[in-house]
Amino acid sequence: MQPAAALALVVTCFTWTSALLQHRQTAHKRLQYLLEPPVYAEILVRRGASVTLPCLLQNKLTSYKVKWTKLEPLSPGVENIILISNGLAQKGYGPLGPRASLRRAHALDVSLRIAGLQLADEGRYRCELINGIEDESVEITLRIEGVVFPYQSEKGHYKFTYRDAKEACESQDATLATYHQLFKAWTEGLDWCNAGWLNDGTVHYPIIHPREPCGGKELLPGIRSYGPRDKTRDYFDAFCFTSITKGKVFFISEKLSFTEAVRSCEARGAQLARVGQLYSAWHFQNLDRCDAGWLVDGSVRFPIATPRGRCGGLQEPGVRNFGFPNKSQTLFGAYCYQ
């Protein structure tokens, strides 16, 4: 770990206060043509589902355009257009365009429908009414329901640059987690003493039980922060985020080398599971097995939904990790994804 003096405890109430002040500052301008969304308008859905982001006109207009965009906090000023409509025709743009359409439930409805939600779809969306010189807009936050898990390189702790961490998460059916996702995971019990990259290029780790190796006992529980780090020169672990999957994870109870585990899954019409798929099965389907098994990255893990003494000894549910054993000389079962 880096010296405790370099750490700063993130006081989460500051985030809430900042959000409240920002809302009050932006809400003072009364909308004339669009309906004001609820305070902290936020929609929570699972990956693969369809969602509607509400945007409604107050009155029927004779001539107008509606533009939906996805805001990119990592690239201020960048406008990712999703859809533009003049009330009659509509056209989609970018990677979201083919999955996006206006709901048009009635004449005042310009809500955006997105089908087949993906992990990368989480974020803030803007509905902009273009009506001459009196343009107006409202914003909606889309959250993907999921689970955060810490991830390290098979070479050991603190081996990922930012790009390495991003690619590592993607290879395990996940994305780099956002601060919001990490904070939510902390409120649900995530306690981890190794710092990891988040998607905005900052580095953090969540602590439920303060202790000496993790910043010191004198600090309160919370999200410890190293702040923004050099994406090419600094090395840390990663915090990955995944959601529900379409398939299922099952276990093969045999003594297998890594290569044999790959073949055994393939013989059953499946693939050796990714880490994100195992976490998804544990989180959403309560997968509970006290048997260690290979995963596709060469790690060995097992999911515990109901903690008991002989299954890792920990009191909290979670996915237990045996690390990265020798692939040819150690034998375990296999977790397959189908």
pLDDT at 87: 81
Q: If we measure between CA atoms, which residue out of 125, 167, 169, 164 comes closest to residue 147?
A: 169
Q: Is 66 helix (H, G, I), strand (E, B) or coil?
A: strand
Provide the pairing of β-strand 271-272 with 65-71.
unpaired
Q: Which CATH architecture has domain 249-337?
A: Roll (3.10)
Q: Which residues of the chain have pLDDT under 50?
A: 1-28
pLDDT at 36: 84
The string of DSSP codes covering 178-226 is PHHHHHHHHHTT----S-EE-TTSEEEEEESS--GGGT-TTSPSEEEEE
Element (H, E) at 279: helix 275-285
CATH tag for 31-143 (out of 3.40.50.300, 3.40.50.20, 1.25.40.10, 2.60.40.10): 2.60.40.10
Dihedral, 7, 11, 12, 13 alpha carbons, nearest 10: -170
pLDDT at 198: 98
pLDDT at 113: 97
4-9+152-243 and 31-143 agree in CATH topology: no
Amino acid at residue number 2: Q
pLDDT in tens, 306-319: 998 888 777 889 99
Instruction: Name the pTM for this structure.
Output: 0.86
pLDDT in tens, 121-135: 999 999 999 987 678
pLDDT at 135: 85
Between CA 31 and CA 236 the distance in angstroms is: 45
Element (H, E) at 301: strand 300-304
Residue 271 buriedness (CB in 10 A; 0-12 / 13-18 / 19+) = middle
* Residues 262 and 292 sit within 8 Å (Cβ to Cβ): no
For the chain, domain boundaries: 4-9+152-243, 31-143, 249-337
Domain 4-9+152-243 matching CATH 3.40.50.1370: the answer reads no
pLDDT at 29: 65
pLDDT at 20: 38
- Alpha-carbon separation of residue 214 from 13, 20, 210 (angstroms): 22, 31, 7
